[in-house]
Every structure is written in structure tokens, then in C-alpha cells.
């Protein structure tokens, strides 16, 4: 039994059942009886998103996303081979915080003097007392795994379809459960700090100097959510690549993009060509100021940068809504 599990007795058949320490509902593997765990110390709900995409389905979704990029092999469906993969359940705290913030300070105002045709000759700035209130509720997602992964930290997750966490279901998928390194109180403190930071930003949009801020943050809901991700190593030809796929929705978090060698060479030569045109334009501008040379310089520089940027891009990430 691992340090993150405990053993309880099934109230139906009295069999010993191993569960996660934070689990609130369990199904007995012997009699299939489902029961809620009564624990007076339990102060939050623990949920999970089920695995809806097996590794074959995940591979299909990955290929579909890779094919959106220029330069990938046409027969990628046949060439892409999964070398190794691991299914992990990554913890996130989902916390909603309401905050009522009252502030006082000084806002910057301008007065205009001596008007003439094209504007004002004198503009003077001065401060005036300001006060206001912000009152709203916001939801925050807090990444809680030990290993810092910027792709998973910034990933836009969805809680739709969540169910109570059950270790037995996770173990059936041969998945690794990453424990949360943040406890309930730490999650609440982070949520409060986040909404205070949001309100501070809103205040600074209204006034220049802050004199006093009085707020009353309250956590309205909080739960721990484990989300399944595939960490995949694959190869196309002789080259090896890596990808991360969300196993509940099949979304590609991030992946390296395999490119055809011929395509890479074409893009490189095209980029060099535009760079040479830009260099020629500089020479024309140095010899004499020419509108044609200036136009060529700007156009060639833009095309050269964009060609290298798009054509040689090696990573694909899901676009945020």
C-alpha cells in the first residue's frame, strides 16, 4: 500500500478495499457496492475526468492535429509509430473566490490651455481624490503536481464530465496518479491571492495612486480534480518526437512536428532568397533614397521572417479560446 492510500472495510461485504486518502466515494471491487466515505476531517471534494480516448484513439487525434501543419509527410498515418507512452493523472485545484473590494486613492486628470489649430499649447496634469468598489466572483485553476510543466500549467482545462475520484478506475487504465503537493489551505490562500491580484490590476486602471484598499475575500467552492494525460514518444522514419494528449477529450496539449526534409530545404532557400532581396534593398537605399528600395526592404524582410517563422515551426499547441 502506498503512502497516499488507506484501507477501509466495505459496509456491504466487509472486504478490505484500498482507496486514495482524498477519495470521497468508492466502489467495492468484490461486490460492486458503491458508497460515500464518511470522514469528518474531509473538507473538499475530489473528482477526476475519465479516460475516454485509448492510445489508438489518441494517436488518431495526434495525426489529425499534425496534418494541420505544412510540410508534414503525406503518409503520416502509416509512418507515425508510438514508441513509448505513459498515462498520468495530473492534479489541479479548481477554486472559486468572491471578493468585495473598496479602494481610495488619486486619479490623474488633464487640463488643456491655449487652443490653436492643430491642438493645445499647454496640457497640465493634476491628481484628484477617487474611490470605488469592485465586487465579483472568479474561478481559478491551480496546477498542483510536483513536476513543473509549463504546457500543463497553461493548458485550458474543462471540468465538464467530472466524476468522483476512484483509485480502482485509475488502476484499471494502468495510469500513474500524481499526488497534489498543495493542500486545501494552501489552495485557498492561492485563490485569495489571485483574486486580490486581479482586483489590484482593475484598481490601477482607474487610479494612479492607491491610498487604501479594504477587501473581504471568501472562498465559495473548492475541489481537487485529477485530469488524465498521455505522455507520448513517437517516431516518423528515423526521427523521434514527443507529444502530450489530454485523454478525456483527445485534445493535443503540445507536440513536436515532423517535417519532410525536402520541405525544410525549400523553406530555408526561400527564406534566404527573401533575405538577399532585403540586403539588395539596403544597398539601393544607401546609394540613393528610393521608394522602390524602401518597399522592397520592408516586403522582403517581412516575408523572410514570416517564412522562417511558419515554415520551420517545430511545435504545435492547441489555440486558446
Query: Strand 45-48 vs strand 218-236: parallel, antiparallel, or unpaired?
Result: parallel
In a domain, 104, yes or no: no
pLDDT tens digits, residue range 19-68? 777 677 777 777 666 777 665 454 688 999 999 999 999 999 999 999 88
d(CA 65, CA 4): 36
pLDDT of residue 40: 45
The whole domain housing 269 covers 261-317
Range list of β-strands (E), the chain: 5-9, 16-20, 25-27, 34-36, 45-48, 80-116, 119-143, 163-164, 176-177, 209-215, 218-236, 239-246, 252-256, 315-317
pLDDT at 278 over 80: no
Same domain as 178, residue 81: yes
Rounded to 5°, the CA angle 200-319-188 comes to 35
In a domain, 215, yes or no: no
- Which comes out higher in pLDDT, residue 232 or 258? 232
pLDDT at 14 over 60: no
pLDDT of residue 54: 96
Same domain as 230, residue 312: no
Same domain as 269, residue 156: no
Most confidently predicted of 14-28, 135-149, 258-272: 135-149
- Which comes out higher in pLDDT, residue 73 or 33? 73
Same domain as 179, residue 248: yes
Same domain as 229, residue 278: no
Question: pLDDT class for 146, splitting at 50, 70, 90?
Answer: very high
pLDDT at 192 over 80: yes
In a domain, 2, yes or no: no
Would you put residue 174 in left (φ > 0), alpha (ψ -120 to 50) or beta?
left
83 exposure class (CB count in 10 Å sphere: 0-12, 13-18, 19+): exposed
Same domain as 164, residue 29: yes
Domain termination site, one of 236, 256, 276: 256
Taking Cα atoms as reference points, which of 135, 134, 63 lies closest to residue 104? 134
Same domain as 155, residue 42: yes
Same domain as 243, residue 168: yes
Same domain as 268, residue 248: no
Question: pLDDT class for 213, splitting at 50, 70, 90?
Answer: very high
- The count of domains in the chain is 2
Amino acid at each position: 500500500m502506498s503512502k497516499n492510500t488507506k484501507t477501509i472495510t466495505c459496509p456491504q461485504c466487509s472486504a478490505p478495499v484500498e482507496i486514495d486518502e482524498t477519495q470521497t466515494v468508492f466502489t467495492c471491487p468484490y461486490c460492486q457496492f458503491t458508497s460515500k466515505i464518511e470522514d469528518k476531517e474531509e473538507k473538499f471534494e475530489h473528482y477526476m475526468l475519465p479516460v475516454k480516448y485509448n492510445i489508438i484513439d489518441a494517436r488518431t487525434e495526434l495525426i489529425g492535429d499534425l496534418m494541420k501543419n505544412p510540410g508534414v509527410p503525406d503518409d503520416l498515418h502509416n509512418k507515425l509509430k508510438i514508441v513509448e507512452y505513459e498515462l498520468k493523472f495530473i492534479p489541479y485545484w479548481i477554486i472559486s473566490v468572491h471578493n468585495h473590494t473598496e479602494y481610495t486613492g488619486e486619479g490623474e486628470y488633464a487640463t488643456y490651455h491655449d487652443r490653436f489649430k492643430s491642438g493645445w499649447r499647454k496640457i497640465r496634469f493634476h491628481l484628484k481624490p477617487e474611490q470605488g468598489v469592485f465586487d465579483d466572483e472568479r474561478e481559478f485553476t491551480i496546477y498542483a503536481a510536483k513536476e513543473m510543466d509549463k504546457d500543463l500549467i497553461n493548458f485550458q482545462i474543462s471540468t465538464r464530465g467530472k466524476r468522483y475520484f476512484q483509485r480502482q478506475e485509475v488502476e484499471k487504465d494502468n495510469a500513474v496518479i500524481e499526488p497534489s503537493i498543495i493542500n486545501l489551505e494552501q489552495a485557498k490562500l492561492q485563490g485569495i491571492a489571485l483574486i486580490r491580484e486581479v482586483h489590484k490590476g482593475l484598481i490601477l486602471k482607474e487610479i494612479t495612486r492607491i491610498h487604501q484598499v479594504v477587501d473581504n475575500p471568501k472562498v465559495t467552492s473548492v475541489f481537487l480534480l485529477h485530469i488524465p494525460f498521455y505522455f507520448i514518444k513517437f517516431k516518423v522514419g528515423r526521427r523521434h518526437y514527443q507529444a502530450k494528449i489530454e485523454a478525456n477529450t483527445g485534445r493535443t496539449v503540445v507536440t513536436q512536428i515532423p517535417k519532410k526534409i525536402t520541405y525544410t530545404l525549400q523553406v530555408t532557400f526561400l527564406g534566404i532568397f527573401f533575405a538577399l532581396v532585403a540586403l539588395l534593398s539596403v544597398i539601393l537605399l544607401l546609394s540613393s533614397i528610393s521608394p522602390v528600395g524602401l518597399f522592397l526592404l520592408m516586403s522582403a524582410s517581412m516575408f523572410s521572417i514570416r517564412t522562417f517563422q511558419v515554415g520551420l515551426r517545430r511545435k504545435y499547441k492547441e489555440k486558446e479560446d
